[in-house]
Amino acid sequence: MANPLRREVVRLYKNLLYLGREYPQGSTYFRERLKASFMKNKDVTDPEKIKKLVAKGDFVIKELEAMYYLRKYRTLKKRYYDPEK
Amino acid sequence: MQIYKSGVVTDGVKHSMNPFCEIAVEEAVKLKEKKLIKEVVAVSCGPQQAQETIRTALAMGADRGIHVEVTGKDYEHLGPLQVSKIFAALAKKEEAQLVILGKQAIDDDCNQTGQMTAALLDWPQGTFASEVTLEGDKIKVVREIDGGLETIKINTPAVVTADLRLNTPRYATLPNIMKAKKKKIANMKPADLGVDVAPRLEVLKVEEPPQREAGVKVETVEDLVARLKDTGRI
């Protein structure tokens, strides 16, 4: 793999791994799937394809951040703001 | 969760920043990004683990941290009164113009620290803020109150407490945490600020709420009346 892209991919993997600690179904579950999905693409050499996959990974990061925020928001809303029915 | 007679056991439980305080930190960082304030200082009172919370604040964009070390028995009895004394002393020492914190902590649900801090400093307060706008040397605060929204304008320096809808806190991602390692966290004890953290309250007991009993369904109105008579309700 081209050198700067390798750094991007490793950076992406580390960031996703860090985010996966809070995954609702467990960090081990997340880590297994993360590794599997990275391994599935390990033979990709075309830099354009790699950039696309990294962009997809960045998108997943944003999705996870949004999910964590919504989960926290909804818990707080339910606990403090929704009147008991 | 384990509940003992005098409190909830917290050893080995993972702690994180109070969600309302996350919102407060986010608001402070946003104000700095808009270049409306110069510096964001994150403060936490507690044992060693409090430093991790400060690091999260630094990762979100605070410039430096202050860890006021309170451990052991002192920490068990640390409440809003003691914390607000510490905050008031720090605000004076650091010559802060704005103290912003979460409206309440989700472990004790006191909702007192912000208000007490403002009272000790004799500063105006904008509590339950869902919108904060700096207008010159005044602050416009939209507050979430029972009847709806109230808009007030207060002088600076002031205390603001953050409510749920003030903003969407950013996630402290790994690269930001790494960058934040360079930022400084100062260490001090309450005594250094001239604050006495002796407790004023004694916890008598802590219990779980009573189990909710299952409801009973009845077929007819006659049944219902009979049941109510049986249980002595009518």
Domains belonging to chain B, first-starting first, are 19-231 (3.40.50.620)
* Overall average pLDDT of the B127-150 stretch: 96
Across the interface, of A15, A68, A79, the residue whose CB is closest to B174 is A15
Tell me what ipTM this predicted complex has: 0.87
Position B25, amino acid: V
Contact A81 B164 (CB under 8 A): yes
pTM of the entire predicted model: 0.88
Contact B174 A81 (CB under 8 A): no
Measured between beta carbons, the chain A residues lying within 8 angstroms of B175 are 11, 15
Q: What is the pLDDT of residue B227?
A: 86
| Dihedral of alpha carbons B23, B24, B28, B29, sign | negative
**Alpha-carbon distances, residue B122 vs A72, A85, B28, B40, B86 (angstroms):** 34, 40, 21, 22, 15
Q: What is the pLDDT of residue B3?
A: 57
B225 CB near a chain A CB, below 8 Å?
Answer: no
Q: Which pLDDT band holds residue A72 (cuts at 50, 70, 90)?
A: very high
Chain B's closest residue to A17, CA to CA, is B174
Contact B168 A76 (CB under 8 A): no
Position A64, amino acid: L
Contact B173 A11 (CB under 8 A): no
Q: What is the pLDDT of residue B2?
A: 58
Which has the closest alpha carbon to A5: A40, A60, A55, A39?
A: A55
Chain B's closest residue to A64, CA to CA, is B171
Please report the number of interchain residue pairs, chain A to chain B, with beta-carbon separation below 8 angstroms: 29
Distance CA(B78)–CA(B45), nearest Å, equals 9
Strands (DSSP E) contained in B79-171 are 98-102, 125-135, 138-145, 148-155, 158-162
Chain A's closest residue to B168, CA to CA, is A69
Instruction: Domain of residue A39: give its range.
Output: 4-81
Contact A69 B164 (CB under 8 A): no
Per-residue pLDDT of A14-58, as tens digits, reads 999 999 999 999 999 999 999 999 999 999 989 999 999 999 999
Measured between beta carbons, the chain A residues lying within 8 angstroms of B106 are 76, 79
Q: Is the pLDDT of residue B231 over 80?
A: yes
Helix (H, G, I), strand (E, B) or coil at B48: coil
Q: Which pLDDT band holds residue A85 (cuts at 50, 70, 90)?
A: very low
Which has the closest alpha carbon to B84: B125, B122, B118, B44?
A: B118
Measured between beta carbons, the chain A residues lying within 8 angstroms of B173 are 15, 18-19, 61, 65
User: How many domains, chain A?
Assistant: 1
Which has the closest alpha carbon to B15: B45, B44, B50, B41?
A: B50
Chain B's closest residue to A67, CA to CA, is B171
- Which residue's entry shows tokens 């402070």? B28
* Contact yes or no for B120/B84 (Cβ under 8 A): yes
Measured between beta carbons, the chain B residues lying within 8 angstroms of A19 are 171, 173-174
Chain A's closest residue to B14, CA to CA, is A22
Measured between beta carbons, the chain A residues lying within 8 angstroms of B20 are 76
What is the helix (H) or strand (E) element at residue A19, kind and residue range? Answer: helix A3-19
* Overall average pLDDT of the B199-226 stretch: 86
